[in-house]
Chains A and B, each alone.
Chain A
Amino acid sequence: MEYKKVCFMYRSNDYAVDGIRSALGLAVENMYAYGVVMDQEMDKLDEHNLESIEMLRDMEGEIYSTIPANVEKNSFESMTIEELGEKLRDMSIVVPYGLK
Protein backbone atom coordinates (compact mmCIF):
# COMPACT_ATOMS: atom_id res chain seq x y z
CA MET A 1 0.00 0.00 0.00
CA GLU A 2 1.28 3.40 -0.95
CA TYR A 3 0.93 6.01 1.78
CA LYS A 4 -0.46 9.41 0.81
CA LYS A 5 1.77 12.48 1.06
CA VAL A 6 0.11 15.76 2.04
CA CYS A 7 1.61 19.24 2.25
CA PHE A 8 -0.13 22.15 3.96
CA MET A 9 1.01 25.72 3.30
CA TYR A 10 0.30 28.51 5.79
CA ARG A 11 0.61 32.18 4.87
CA SER A 12 -1.10 33.69 7.90
CA ASN A 13 -0.12 33.39 11.55
CA ASP A 14 -3.77 32.97 12.47
CA TYR A 15 -3.86 29.68 10.61
CA ALA A 16 -0.41 28.17 11.11
CA VAL A 17 -0.94 26.63 14.55
CA ASP A 18 -4.26 25.02 13.65
CA GLY A 19 -2.85 23.99 10.29
CA ILE A 20 -0.03 22.17 12.06
CA ARG A 21 -2.71 20.37 14.08
CA SER A 22 -4.40 19.35 10.82
CA ALA A 23 -1.09 17.94 9.58
CA LEU A 24 -0.70 15.95 12.80
CA GLY A 25 -4.28 14.70 12.34
CA LEU A 26 -3.31 13.14 9.00
CA ALA A 27 -0.02 11.73 10.29
CA VAL A 28 -1.93 9.66 12.84
CA GLU A 29 -4.03 8.38 9.91
CA ASN A 30 -0.86 6.90 8.39
CA MET A 31 -0.09 9.64 5.90
CA TYR A 32 3.13 11.57 5.39
CA ALA A 33 2.11 15.06 6.50
CA TYR A 34 4.14 18.24 6.06
CA GLY A 35 3.49 21.90 6.85
CA VAL A 36 5.22 24.99 5.51
CA VAL A 37 5.01 28.36 7.26
CA MET A 38 5.41 31.07 4.65
CA ASP A 39 5.47 34.87 4.52
CA GLN A 40 5.19 35.67 8.23
CA GLU A 41 7.26 35.47 11.37
CA MET A 42 5.53 33.48 14.09
CA ASP A 43 5.70 33.87 17.84
CA LYS A 44 7.60 31.20 19.72
CA LEU A 45 5.33 28.18 19.98
CA ASP A 46 4.24 26.98 23.40
CA GLU A 47 5.26 23.65 24.88
CA HIS A 48 2.07 21.91 23.74
CA ASN A 49 2.50 22.91 20.10
CA LEU A 50 6.20 22.05 20.13
CA GLU A 51 5.23 18.60 21.44
CA SER A 52 2.73 18.26 18.58
CA ILE A 53 5.53 18.96 16.10
CA GLU A 54 7.74 16.37 17.82
CA MET A 55 4.91 13.85 17.47
CA LEU A 56 4.61 14.76 13.80
CA ARG A 57 8.36 14.18 13.36
CA ASP A 58 8.08 10.81 15.10
CA MET A 59 5.63 9.90 12.33
CA GLU A 60 8.07 11.07 9.64
CA GLY A 61 6.32 14.38 9.06
CA GLU A 62 7.98 17.79 9.27
CA ILE A 63 7.26 21.50 9.58
CA TYR A 64 9.29 23.79 7.34
CA SER A 65 9.49 27.53 6.99
CA THR A 66 10.66 29.88 4.27
CA ILE A 67 11.27 32.51 6.98
CA PRO A 68 14.67 32.20 8.75
CA ALA A 69 13.35 33.68 12.03
CA ASN A 70 10.81 30.84 12.32
CA VAL A 71 13.52 28.26 11.71
CA GLU A 72 15.58 29.76 14.51
CA LYS A 73 12.74 30.34 16.97
CA ASN A 74 10.68 27.19 16.53
CA SER A 75 13.23 24.73 15.16
CA PHE A 76 11.42 24.35 11.86
CA GLU A 77 13.38 23.00 8.92
CA SER A 78 14.51 25.68 6.49
CA MET A 79 13.11 25.66 2.97
CA THR A 80 13.20 28.03 0.00
CA ILE A 81 10.22 28.67 -2.28
CA GLU A 82 12.03 26.73 -5.03
CA GLU A 83 12.56 23.77 -2.69
CA LEU A 84 8.89 23.95 -1.68
CA GLY A 85 7.85 23.82 -5.33
CA GLU A 86 9.96 20.69 -5.85
CA LYS A 87 8.47 19.11 -2.72
CA LEU A 88 4.94 19.84 -3.92
CA ARG A 89 5.65 17.86 -7.09
CA ASP A 90 6.04 14.77 -4.92
CA MET A 91 2.75 15.26 -3.00
CA SER A 92 -0.56 13.41 -3.44
CA ILE A 93 -2.44 16.34 -1.90
CA VAL A 94 -1.51 20.05 -1.66
CA VAL A 95 -3.46 22.29 0.74
CA PRO A 96 -3.13 26.09 0.60
CA TYR A 97 -4.50 26.50 4.13
CA GLY A 98 -6.74 29.25 5.54
CA LEU A 99 -6.39 32.85 4.45
CA LYS A 100 -3.48 34.51 2.73
Chain B
Amino acid sequence: MAKSLGIFVTNPDNFQHVMGVTKAAKAKGSTVKVFFTWTATHNAKKESDFPALCNLADDVSICVDSYKKMGYDISDVPEGLDEKKMATQAQHGIIIEDFDCYISF
Protein backbone atom coordinates (compact mmCIF):
# COMPACT_ATOMS: atom_id res chain seq x y z
CA MET B 1 0.00 0.00 0.00
CA ALA B 2 1.26 3.45 -0.89
CA LYS B 3 2.47 5.69 1.92
CA SER B 4 0.36 8.71 2.85
CA LEU B 5 1.69 12.20 2.16
CA GLY B 6 1.15 15.52 3.92
CA ILE B 7 2.00 18.79 2.18
CA PHE B 8 2.48 22.09 4.08
CA VAL B 9 2.46 25.18 1.84
CA THR B 10 3.93 28.54 2.89
CA ASN B 11 5.23 29.82 -0.46
CA PRO B 12 2.58 31.44 -2.69
CA ASP B 13 4.58 30.74 -5.86
CA ASN B 14 4.77 26.95 -5.60
CA PHE B 15 1.22 25.91 -6.50
CA GLN B 16 2.41 24.05 -9.61
CA HIS B 17 4.66 21.89 -7.40
CA VAL B 18 1.79 21.21 -4.96
CA MET B 19 -0.42 20.14 -7.86
CA GLY B 20 2.32 18.08 -9.53
CA VAL B 21 3.23 16.19 -6.37
CA THR B 22 -0.43 15.62 -5.42
CA LYS B 23 -1.25 14.23 -8.88
CA ALA B 24 1.77 11.91 -8.84
CA ALA B 25 1.07 10.70 -5.29
CA LYS B 26 -2.62 10.07 -5.99
CA ALA B 27 -1.68 8.11 -9.14
CA LYS B 28 0.33 5.81 -6.82
CA GLY B 29 -2.68 5.27 -4.55
CA SER B 30 -1.49 7.57 -1.77
CA THR B 31 -3.69 9.50 0.65
CA VAL B 32 -2.78 13.19 0.38
CA LYS B 33 -3.55 16.06 2.72
CA VAL B 34 -2.59 19.67 1.90
CA PHE B 35 -2.59 22.69 4.23
CA PHE B 36 -1.95 26.26 3.06
CA THR B 37 -0.87 29.05 5.40
CA TRP B 38 0.07 32.76 5.34
CA THR B 39 0.59 34.20 1.82
CA ALA B 40 0.07 30.74 0.29
CA THR B 41 -3.64 31.15 1.14
CA HIS B 42 -3.76 33.45 -1.94
CA ASN B 43 -3.58 30.20 -3.94
CA ALA B 44 -7.13 29.37 -2.83
CA LYS B 45 -8.48 32.45 -4.60
CA LYS B 46 -5.96 33.10 -7.36
CA GLU B 47 -5.05 29.68 -8.74
CA SER B 48 -7.63 28.48 -11.27
CA ASP B 49 -6.71 24.86 -10.51
CA PHE B 50 -7.32 25.19 -6.78
CA PRO B 51 -10.80 23.56 -6.96
CA ALA B 52 -9.23 20.74 -9.00
CA LEU B 53 -6.63 20.24 -6.26
CA CYS B 54 -9.45 20.01 -3.71
CA ASN B 55 -11.09 17.29 -5.83
CA LEU B 56 -7.87 15.40 -6.32
CA ALA B 57 -6.43 15.43 -2.79
CA ASP B 58 -8.13 13.63 0.07
CA ASP B 59 -8.11 16.72 2.25
CA VAL B 60 -7.30 20.37 1.53
CA SER B 61 -7.57 23.14 4.11
CA ILE B 62 -6.27 26.67 4.64
CA CYS B 63 -5.38 28.76 7.69
CA VAL B 64 -8.41 30.99 8.14
CA ASP B 65 -6.47 33.50 10.23
CA SER B 66 -3.89 33.90 7.44
CA TYR B 67 -6.66 34.17 4.84
CA LYS B 68 -8.18 37.03 6.81
CA LYS B 69 -4.79 38.73 7.18
CA MET B 70 -4.33 38.49 3.39
CA GLY B 71 -7.39 40.73 3.12
CA TYR B 72 -10.13 38.22 2.36
CA ASP B 73 -13.52 37.99 4.02
CA ILE B 74 -13.71 34.69 5.90
CA SER B 75 -17.32 34.23 4.78
CA ASP B 76 -16.00 34.20 1.19
CA VAL B 77 -15.11 30.48 1.23
CA PRO B 78 -12.90 29.59 -1.79
CA GLU B 79 -14.36 27.21 -4.37
CA GLY B 80 -13.46 23.63 -3.47
CA LEU B 81 -13.48 24.25 0.30
CA ASP B 82 -16.23 24.42 2.87
CA GLU B 83 -16.32 26.25 6.20
CA LYS B 84 -14.76 23.31 8.06
CA LYS B 85 -11.71 23.54 5.80
CA MET B 86 -11.13 27.16 6.85
CA ALA B 87 -9.01 25.88 9.69
CA THR B 88 -6.10 26.45 12.08
CA GLN B 89 -2.45 25.43 12.41
CA ALA B 90 -3.70 22.23 14.05
CA GLN B 91 -4.03 20.93 10.47
CA HIS B 92 -0.24 21.14 10.17
CA GLY B 93 -0.01 19.12 13.37
CA ILE B 94 -2.25 16.43 11.87
CA ILE B 95 -0.03 16.25 8.78
CA ILE B 96 3.05 15.73 10.94
CA GLU B 97 1.49 13.23 13.36
CA ASP B 98 -0.72 11.16 11.11
CA PHE B 99 0.95 11.00 7.68
CA ASP B 100 3.84 8.74 6.68
CA CYS B 101 5.69 11.32 4.60
CA TYR B 102 5.98 15.10 4.70
CA ILE B 103 7.02 17.83 2.31
CA SER B 104 6.77 21.60 2.63
CA PHE B 105 6.64 24.09 -0.21
Q: Does B10 contact A (CB under 8 A)?
A: yes
* In the assembled complex, B20 has its CB within 8 A of some CB on chain A: no
Given A15-B38, A95-B104, A99-B11, do A25 and B90 touch, yes or no (CB 8 Å)? yes
B104 interface neighbour in A4, A26, A96, Cβ under 8 Å: A96
Q: Can you name 17 A-B pairs with beta carbons within 8 Å?
A: A6-B96, A15-B10, A18-B37, A22-B89, A22-B92, A25-B88, A25-B93, A26-B89, A26-B92, A31-B93, A31-B96, A92-B96, A93-B102, A96-B104, A98-B11, A98-B38, A98-B39
- Known contacts A15-B38, A95-B10; is A29 also within 8 Å of B102 by CB? no
User: Within 8 Å of chain A (Cβ to Cβ): is B58?
Assistant: no
Tier of interface size on chain B: 10 to 19
Q: How extensive is the interface on chain A, given as a class? A: 20 to 34
Q: Which of A4, A22, A92, A99 contacts B37 (CB 8 A)?
A: A22
Please give, as numbers and ranges, the residues of chain A lying within 8 Å of B43 by CB-CB distance: none
Asked whether any CB of chain B lies closer than 8 Å to the CB of A57, the reply is no
**Bound form: Cα–Cα A96–B102 in Å:** 13
